[in-house]
């Protein structure tokens, strides 16, 4: 009968209990990582100190949690290039106030080196990568090298370490050159150029003449020879030319580099207003006046009347030949003859719409009017005009509370404007990050605008939503919850 007796399960129970303990421990560790990620997702220039304080409470006297912070930052630097400068400054400030000042610094230095070396080795050993793997590895290397440059800038890493990475990348480039592995070697070259572009500015800032001589020699003896003697892709040749121009300009930031540095709300508005002032002082374009407003109001009224006469009540009925039948002289005169900026036409159109658009059926007609204007005239803007238009559109959307207060149809109007501006590359989804940490009313209003932009995106809806998910604004739980509650669909 012994074969039928109850089996002793004590050993199995002990194993199960240990497994559960280990599982709970892992969940707890992942929970800390999740908390750190959520806090970093909210990081902006404006709330920098608040984020620092929250992280201090999690990290102080806890080396494991400091490891988790480093892990998250190394992940983020791959996908959030524009925020690396803030992550480096955050590490610097945390190192100052943590009780164990050396642990975070030493661990960060070690982890950066290990991660970079690992990414380089993986790339160089796996030469038969598919396209997705190739670009992921490329983003890793460029992300890590950008982080290393910013850590040198905040004096967590030394300039000597900077030269170590330059020489390491160049040696790998040379090795791959001999093996004729072009795609992979060009990533190393791009990483060198990216790093040098930041490193020169750092050396100038610290007045290290010996290091500046060393850097200039490297550029003239290695980089210039690559540009002149080797066959490299055009985009890398232009990157080297830009690097040399920057070197000749005492390593000052280019306009593009200045534009991608994270800024607070006050700085953004100040910069836009300063640019606006300079732009107008140059007399390149003029502001719109009351007479011009009347012209646009009359033109929009005539457009709605024109569509009604042609029985155009849905987008599917609006054909190209119908568009061409409308007389566009008024707008053409304002833009071509009177030199009124396109963005001023847009601003005036919004002001006019507040009073003029009071029926749902007129929303579509008003949207088609501004769509036609933007589609046609944006093609003729110069790069500087597009940049200026982009900045002023950011200001326009920051006025969302005033624009929608008296007319609920303005959500539809602004939503369409958001989509058509993105479609014509006058505005970018990442520009919406200016609304991070705004008050709840403003967030609700801009989310309502986004809701209508999704509605007018048509066959591009899924792509548009997926791109929305990627921007920093909707990595924040507060903004994500507001948008989803408005749309009643888990968009982000």
272 pLDDT higher than 90 = no
Q: What is the pLDDT at residue 412?
A: 93
65 pLDDT higher than 70 = yes
Lowest mean pLDDT among 215-229, 322-336, 369-383: 322-336
Cα 454 off chain centre by: 20
Q: What is the pLDDT at residue 4?
A: 40
The DSSP code for 336 is I
Lowest mean pLDDT among 5-9, 63-67, 327-331, 442-446: 5-9
198 pLDDT higher than 50 = yes
Q: What predicted TM-score, i.e. pTM, was given to this entire model?
A: 0.55
Give percent above pLDDT 90 in the chain: 27
Q: CA 468, CA 429: separation in Å to the nearest integer?
A: 7
282 pLDDT higher than 70 = no
Q: How confident is the model at residue 147 (pLDDT cuts 50, 70, 90)?
A: very high
Q: What is the pLDDT at residue 124?
A: 60
- Higher pLDDT pick, 211 / 307: 211
Q: CA 246, CA 198: separation in Å to the nearest integer?
A: 10
Distances (CA, A) of 229 to 169, 225, 226, 368: 19, 6, 5, 53
Residues 6+ apart with CB under 8 A from 164: none
* Average pLDDT score over residue span 300-309: 82
* Average pLDDT score over residue span 43-58: 90
Q: Which domains are present in the chain?
A: 10-154 (1.25.40.180), 158-262 (no CATH), 265-427 (no CATH)
158 pLDDT higher than 50 = yes
Q: What is the mean pLDDT of the chain?
A: 80
Q: What is the pLDDT at residue 91?
A: 94
Q: How confident is the model at residue 1 (pLDDT cuts 50, 70, 90)?
A: very low
Helix (H) or strand (E) holding 17, with range, is helix 10-41
Q: What is the pLDDT at residue 73?
A: 94
The DSSP code for 253 is P
Model pLDDT for residues 10-28, shown as the tens digit of each residue: 555 565 566 456 555 655 5
411 pLDDT higher than 70 = yes
> Which of 40-44, 174-178, 198-202, 326-330 has the highest average model confidence (pLDDT)?
198-202
Phi, psi of 286 (to 5 degrees): -115, 155
Largest CA distance in the chain: 106
Q: How confident is the model at residue 104 (pLDDT cuts 50, 70, 90)?
A: very high
Q: How confident is the model at residue 43 (pLDDT cuts 50, 70, 90)?
A: confident
Q: What is the pLDDT at residue 99?
A: 87
Lowest mean pLDDT among 3-7, 33-37, 190-194, 481-485: 3-7
Q: CA 343, CA 370: separation in Å to the nearest integer?
A: 11
Q: CA 221, CA 240: separation in Å to the nearest integer?
A: 13
- State the sign of the Cα–Cα–Cα–Cα dihedral 205, 208, 211, 216: positive
Q: Is the distance from CB of 437 to CB of 43 less than 8 angstroms?
A: no
Q: How confident is the model at residue 63 (pLDDT cuts 50, 70, 90)?
A: very high
Q: How confident is the model at residue 129 (pLDDT cuts 50, 70, 90)?
A: low
Closest CA to 116 of 85, 159, 149: 149
Q: What is the pLDDT at residue 482?
A: 75
Model pLDDT for residues 419-439, shown as the tens digit of each residue: 999 999 999 988 998 887 777
Tokens standing for residue 183: 């795609």
- Which string of b and e fits 107-138 if b means at least 16 CB within 10 Å? ebbebbbebbeebbeebbeeeebeeeebeebb
């Amino acid at each position: 009968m012994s074969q039928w007796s109850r089996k002793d399960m004590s050993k199995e129970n002990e194993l199960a209990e240990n497994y559960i303990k280990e599982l709970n421990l892992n969940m707890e560790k992942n929970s800390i990582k999740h908390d750190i990620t959520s806090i970093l997702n909210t990081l902006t220039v404006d709330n920098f100190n608040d984020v620092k304080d929250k992280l201090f409470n999690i990290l102080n006297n806890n080396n494991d949690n400091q490891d988790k912070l480093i892990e998250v930052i190394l992940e983020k630097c791959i996908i959030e290039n524009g925020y690396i400068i803030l992550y480096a400054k955050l590490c610097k400030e945390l190192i100052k106030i943590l009780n164990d000042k050396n642990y975070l610094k030493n661990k960060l230095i070690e982890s950066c080196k290990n991660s970079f070396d690992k990414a380089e080795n993986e790339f160089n050993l796996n030469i038969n990568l598919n396209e997705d793997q190739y670009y992921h590895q490329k983003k890793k290397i460029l992300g890590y090298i950008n982080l290393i440059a910013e850590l040198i800038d905040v004096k967590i890493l030394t300039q000597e370490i900077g030269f170590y990475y330059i020489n390491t990348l160049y040696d790998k480039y040379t090795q791959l050159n001999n093996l004729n592995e072009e795609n992979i070697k060009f990533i190393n070259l791009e990483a060198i150029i990216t790093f040098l572009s930041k490193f020169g500015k750092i050396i100038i800032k610290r007045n290290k003449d010996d290091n500046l001589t060393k850097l200039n020699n490297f550029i003239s003896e290695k980089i210039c020879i690559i540009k002149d003697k080797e066959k490299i892709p055009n985009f890398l040749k232009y990157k080297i030319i830009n690097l040399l121009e920057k070197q000749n300009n005492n390593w000052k930031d280019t306009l593009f580099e200045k534009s991608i540095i994270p800024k607070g709300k006050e700085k953004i508005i100040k910069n836009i207003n300063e640019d606006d002032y300079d732009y107008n002082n140059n007399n390149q374009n003029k502001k719109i006046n009351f007479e011009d407003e009347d012209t646009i109001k009359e033109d929009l009224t005539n457009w709605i009347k024109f569509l009604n006469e042609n029985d155009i009540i849905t987008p599917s009925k609006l054909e190209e030949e119908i568009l061409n039948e409308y007389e566009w002289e008024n707008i053409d005169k304002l833009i071509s003859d009177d030199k009124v900026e396109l963005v001023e036409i847009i601003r005036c159109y919004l002001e006019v719409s507040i009073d003029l658009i009071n029926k749902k059926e007129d929303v579509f007609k008003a949207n088609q009017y501004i769509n036609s204007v933007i589609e046609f005239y944006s093609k003729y803007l110069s790069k500087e005009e597009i940049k200026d238009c982009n900045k002023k559109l950011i200001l326009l959307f920051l006025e969302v509370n005033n624009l929608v207060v008296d007319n609920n149809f303005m959500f539809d109007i602004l939503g369409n404007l958001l989509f058509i501006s993105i479609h014509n590359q006058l505005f970018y989804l990442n520009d919406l990050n200016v609304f991070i940490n705004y008050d709840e009313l403003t967030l609700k209003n801009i989310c309502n605008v986004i809701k209508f932009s999704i509605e007018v995106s048509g066959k591009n809806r899924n792509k548009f939503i997926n791109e929305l998910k990627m921007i920093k604004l909707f990595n924040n739980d507060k903004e994500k919850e507001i948008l989803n509650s408005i749309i009643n669909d888990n968009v982000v």
